[in-house]
Structure 1
């Protein structure tokens, strides 16, 4: 019986894999030459706000796009698949997209929802922190955006290019908002325009605190002018003191006005603990900005307040910072169930950014220390759990294995499923477990995770676990291949630290 991944955990091989392209471990089939539309099937936009969505498809280029039943005021670029315009009347609009090239065509129904909810599927994109940390610059962000746009990623729904901490300079400009550090980000408007011109979106970082984690200016101040002086260094301990505080004078509106003027699409809002007053205030400011700017909270959101916070944030961190090692990843694989009731279209749990590809946090760039099996577990869990997919790697150094992980449309479709349900654990055997979730088409997505060290295990999911009975077709999602018709249960050999990810759909009687 075929399995999704069966390489096995071997510490002696881990370092070898880290410096190799891992091309021998690729499971994702190469897309064919004919068009195949993928990506989100639903998109939300607020009334009167600019639409920024791209129809994505694989296949031989050039390719042209068409649309039927576009609402008045909405336009489709036939050469790029870029959707633009505005709709003032709330409602659900069903559109049929078509993609054509010299060898074939494909079509798909799509729902445009004009209303108060945005981020109807988890955001997919990139963030600068896990590769550059405090060394991020405008040139590096643009280089990664160009790499995203010229790679296969852009044809599979990856779109956000998010700048993390330390872009900030001092207050000024039309709105007295935070302006960029001119030494590292000399022309923020030009950067935003170039990234939008590539068919991508762009995000920014801030905090309601006086000073951010990266010791740059935050959204509040102790003086009415908004002047900022970094906290001095503790000479004895050779580290900076850090005042975790929100200042008396708040400049949140000023900053939002500046972000909207530039044209940002995403905000990572970072402080601890994430509390309701600041979250609610920022939600309303973004809502009134004239643009759809996603609000993502970081970090370690208190569970005791998530019932309230989740009504205002589009995403929230469920823990601390992730690192590229098995211990850090394992702590997020089968531990997110308590958060699941709060995940829904427009509002997503976030176990943190991804740790595949070339990472380094600004110090020692290196290929991810995760083995191939661990990386398959990583992608499978993030997709099953319907969480934001934000890459933290150097996109200019994408290898074949990493690209294969990030361009499997059947796996990504589980993350982007319109139903928006988070997978939960339906069974456990010691440290192993099975995650499962319903999909919009009536099928189920299932991941069999072996979290043990050094031992391949036979793991099973029973139809009783899933509330099913009868005969079902099981499909290997990583290999995009049907495995056969099964009755009552499905079992597979799963390597240590590995996963088998499948879909289960009703068989014809």
Structure 2
């Protein structure tokens, strides 16, 4: 539920969990010290939510629009069955805000909206139950819910409302945090726990207080899951920020008590399918609840393919209940590993950057015992390989390779794992020729035979191999290296273009494997000589935590073009960039520029809550940064030496405390070339 502050709410990670600050900065998060485990309260002993809940919530796709009604809810239940989502493990069809009338009846009871639900909630629940599914409902631990219309909250009515929910056949309660009148959070949420228990009906209890009161420290015996962050939005920056907040909390999750980084945005349209696969992969390796937030009535085949991937879902639903932990995150190249009940490890190689990255770890590093070789199962390719111990891949921009690795004595029946790689700049100017090098590396214990490789690009481009493209055999740990000449026709418009690297090989037993690595090259133009306003120059890429990056105005809200004049400490600036943490804007500088300068700070438009830090990166190296800045500070001058850099990246982090009104300005941002 979108709460009134319009930005995800700040949370405090304290004690041993200061590792979260490292994650927010893109650094490796160390394992949390053992004493943290001693602070975890025992989980509710009621047998509910022994694996993370899976289902649907209407809010992200419908909000309070009229289409949220009885017919829609029944239709979602039908789709669960027809599209195989029920078989994949999805159970709950959950109603969010706006299902009730604004006022209680004369007896203080909640009244379902007779237009939306003419036959009441019990009738809907009965239909959902008839499909072998369960129904969820929403209210707030306050006097009103979070919607601006102010529907009745449950504060002071906990036992009456809980009994109504039970009488209707409700199986899941999402309990929000608005209009709470300052009543202690633990008291409010514990009271509803006791009210639900008193009904005698098994109801999964979702605490939605946005992580404001560190519920992971006290709520294991109160609810079955608790929100660790504010609300997610359908952007890469929002998903990334929430991911970084939730990752350090792994010690607090387990059967019956889960960290909840909010609903899935998969299929809502604000991210690419590659980014949605990352979203789904990372939520699964974090043992997060999987609550679909897209409109399944209009969802694409690709959306159903992502949401219905049973091998990825099995990682989320593993009964051991371990949340994945961060092994490394240097330079935005994340390795997250999760112990599984059968002794295997799920491993996510996650690339938060805007260009392909090689990400690597090993069977030993993820905690597997020493063995001659291992079976590696790619959970998106649905194919098994053998590896001598290396777990690595060239991961596309914003992509995730998710594998399951085991010390399986039958490893030899699988073909060797082969890694495709690319060296050379993915940036090229129209009319120029670029030199690239590709590698096909055998990671397996067995040799790869009859190896061949091909690189293709857009039809009008010229792609030529300048060294051999095949080899009779590539032994363990060795590579077939091929160099290529890529020429872009003059006049080619700027933008990103797809290239595809394909390899084919055979295992010693004759199994043929075809492998593919999607790549992109960007056609760019050199920056002009002299001083240029970055607010006026084209960028290579732009990711933002809330809404789009704005040129020469503040961030505003979620819509493009809704910003205001850039204003820091009462001073108005005419040019620059308006962003919202987590944010990254990349520019091609073609090794021809020397400095970036700007006045930076929190924009005045959102009051006193924002805290951010600014960074300038040159070709993967941080060359300038600020301390954490707040709304109380005037603009700070920032100068960065970017001499010789091909790409300059302007980054704004959340200051380490989550995103809450983190509107940041690169005012009068200038590039000198």
> Does the aligned pair in 2 maintain the 1:427–1:465 contact within 8 Å?
no
> Does the aligned pair in 2 maintain the 1:334–1:433 contact within 8 Å?
no
Quote the offset at 1:171 in angstroms: 2.4
Which residue number in structure 2 is paired with residue 289 of structure 1?
199
Quote the offset at 1:283 in angstroms: 0.9
Deviations 1:424-451 (A, max 9, x none): 1111221121111100000000000010
> Does the aligned pair in 2 maintain the 1:205–1:269 contact within 8 Å?
yes
1:431 is the counterpart of 2:332 = yes
1:208 is the counterpart of 2:114 = no
1:370 is the counterpart of 2:304 = no
Quote the offset at 1:486 in angstroms: 2.1
Quote the offset at 1:298 in angstroms: 1.4
TM-score normalised per structure 2: 0.51
> Does the aligned pair in 2 maintain the 1:334–1:435 contact within 8 Å?
no
Equivalent of 1:508, from 393, 402, 409? 409
Which residue number in structure 2 is paired with residue 352 of structure 1?
262
Which residue number in structure 2 is paired with residue 463 of structure 1?
363
Q: Distance in 2 between matches of 1:200 and 1:329?
A: 28
Quote the offset at 1:356 in angstroms: 1.3
Deviations 1:90-120 (A, max 9, x none): xxxxxxxxxxxxxxxxxxxxxxxx9523100
SS of aligned partner of 2:145: coil
SS of aligned partner of 2:206: strand
Which residue number in structure 1 is paired with residue 519 of structure 2?
none
> Does the aligned pair in 1 maintain the 2:209–2:226 contact within 8 Å?
yes
Q: Distance in 2 between matches of 1:336 and 1:447?
A: 15
Quote the offset at 1:204 in angstroms: 0.5
Which residue number in structure 1 is paired with residue 388 of structure 2?
486
Deviations 1:132-179 (A, max 9, x none): 111222222222222222222122111110000011113248x74212
Q: Distance in 2 between matches of 1:333 and 1:464?
A: 25
Which residue number in structure 1 is paired with residue 313 of structure 2?
412
1:217 is the counterpart of 2:217 = no
> Does the aligned pair in 1 maintain the 2:55–2:91 contact within 8 Å?
yes
Structure number, greater radius of gyration = 2
Moved more, 442-451 or 288-297: 288-297
Which residue number in structure 2 is paired with residue 75 of structure 1?
none
Which residue number in structure 2 is paired with residue 141 of structure 1?
73
Which residue number in structure 1 is paired with residue 471 of structure 2?
none
Q: Distance in 2 between matches of 1:121 and 1:172?
A: 38
> Does the aligned pair in 1 maintain the 2:141–2:189 contact within 8 Å?
no
SS of aligned partner of 2:277: helix
> Does the aligned pair in 2 maintain the 1:127–1:390 contact within 8 Å?
yes
Q: Distance in 2 between matches of 1:164 and 1:263?
A: 16
Q: Distance in 2 between matches of 1:431 and 1:181?
A: 47
1:322 is the counterpart of 2:228 = no
1:87-126 equivalence runs, <5 A: 116-126=46-56
Q: Distance in 1 between matches of 2:213 and 2:394?
A: 35
Equivalent of 1:153, from 64, 79, 85? 85
Which residue number in structure 1 is paired with residue 219 of structure 2?
309
> Does the aligned pair in 1 maintain the 2:363–2:405 contact within 8 Å?
no
Q: Distance in 1 between matches of 2:287 and 2:213?
A: 18
CA separation of 1:467 and 1:147: change in aligned 2, threshold 3 A: closer
Paired residues in the alignment total 356
Which residue number in structure 1 is paired with residue 285 of structure 2?
384
Q: Distance in 1 between matches of 2:327 and 2:98?
A: 42
Q: Distance in 1 between matches of 2:367 and 2:284?
A: 21
1:269 is the counterpart of 2:169 = no
Larger RCO (CA within 8 A; separation ≥ 6): 1
1:472 is the counterpart of 2:374 = yes
> Does the aligned pair in 1 maintain the 2:214–2:228 contact within 8 Å?
no
> Does the aligned pair in 1 maintain the 2:220–2:257 contact within 8 Å?
yes
Q: Distance in 2 between matches of 1:140 and 1:392?
A: 14
Quote the offset at 1:410 in angstroms: 1.1
Which residue number in structure 2 is paired with residue 85 of structure 1?
none
SS of aligned partner of 1:332: helix
Q: Distance in 1 between matches of 2:214 and 2:266?
A: 31
Structure 1 vs Structure 2 CA RMSD: 1.9
Higher helix share: 1
Deviations 1:24-51 (A, max 9, x none): xxxxxxxxxxxxxxxxxxxxxxxxxxxx
> Does the aligned pair in 1 maintain the 2:266–2:293 contact within 8 Å?
yes
> Does the aligned pair in 2 maintain the 1:177–1:257 contact within 8 Å?
no
> Does the aligned pair in 1 maintain the 2:216–2:228 contact within 8 Å?
no
Tell me, which stretches of 5 or more residues in structure 1 are unaligned?
A: 1-113, 221-245, 360-367
CA separation of 1:321 and 1:131: change in aligned 2, threshold 3 A: same
1:219-238 equivalence runs, <5 A: 219-220=153-154
Deviations 1:359-408 (A, max 9, x none): 4xxxxxxxx22112101101100110001000011111232111111222
TM-score normalised per structure 1: 0.67
Q: Distance in 1 between matches of 2:329 and 2:108?
A: 54
> Does the aligned pair in 1 maintain the 2:216–2:259 contact within 8 Å?
no
SS of aligned partner of 1:441: coil
> Does the aligned pair in 2 maintain the 1:219–1:252 contact within 8 Å?
no
Which residue number in structure 1 is paired with residue 157 of structure 2?
251
Quote the offset at 1:337 in angstroms: 3.1
Equivalent of 1:164, from 70, 73, 96? 96
